[in-house]
Amino acid sequence: MTVTLTQNYKETLKPETVEFIQEKCIEGDYYLEDALIFIDEHSEDEFVAYYEEFIELGEQHTYDAVDAYLTLYDLDELACFGERYIGEFCSHARMAEEYFDGETDRLDYRISIDWEETGEYLIQHDVDRVGDFYFRCY
């Protein structure tokens, strides 16, 4: 069921969902249209359970990063976003440098690391990628 009309959501959604929308969108800080799109893409139950966390992560990072994460993982794994999110990078090499940030400080300065090759290895074994967004696998 698609709930695209902002005029009829009160008649088509469950009372507890309408109450949540009333509290968070009408009286709160969230946009009604965005909330209804979320319901269309997911469900009413997932909206009530995960929408606030989705908004917080989108504001803290970017909505594009959270959307990319949700192409790989389910909504019930949003709590792991912070642990998994590495960042947005233009190359595997830049991602690999960030992935190992702090660990290379212990290496001798004469050692050279091929970050592109390291990034390729990580993509094959330890990291998921959606566009320019990278996430740690578990």
- The 10s digit of each residue's pLDDT in 69-79 is 999 999 999 99
Cα 24 to Cα 125: distance, rounded to the nearest angstrom: 40
**What's residue 6's pLDDT?**
62
Cα 112 to Cα 100: distance, rounded to the nearest angstrom: 14
Following CA atoms 74, 116, 99, 138 in sequence, which dihedral angle do they give, to the nearest 10 degrees? 40
Residues of the chain with pLDDT below 70 are: 1-7
What is the helix (H) or strand (E) element at residue 82, kind and residue range? helix 81-84
Q: Phi and psi at residue 63, in whole multiples of 5°? A: -65, -30
CA angle 109, 123, 86 (to 5 degrees): 70
Q: Please give the full DSSP string across 19-79, using - where no structure is assigned.
A: HHHIIIIISSSS-HHHHHHHHHHS-HHHHHHHHHHHHHHHHHS-HHHHHHHHHHS-GGGGG
Structure letter (DSSP) for residue 118: H
**What's residue 26's pLDDT?**
73
pLDDT (tens digit per residue) in 89-99: 999 999 999 99
Q: What is the reported pTM? A: 0.83
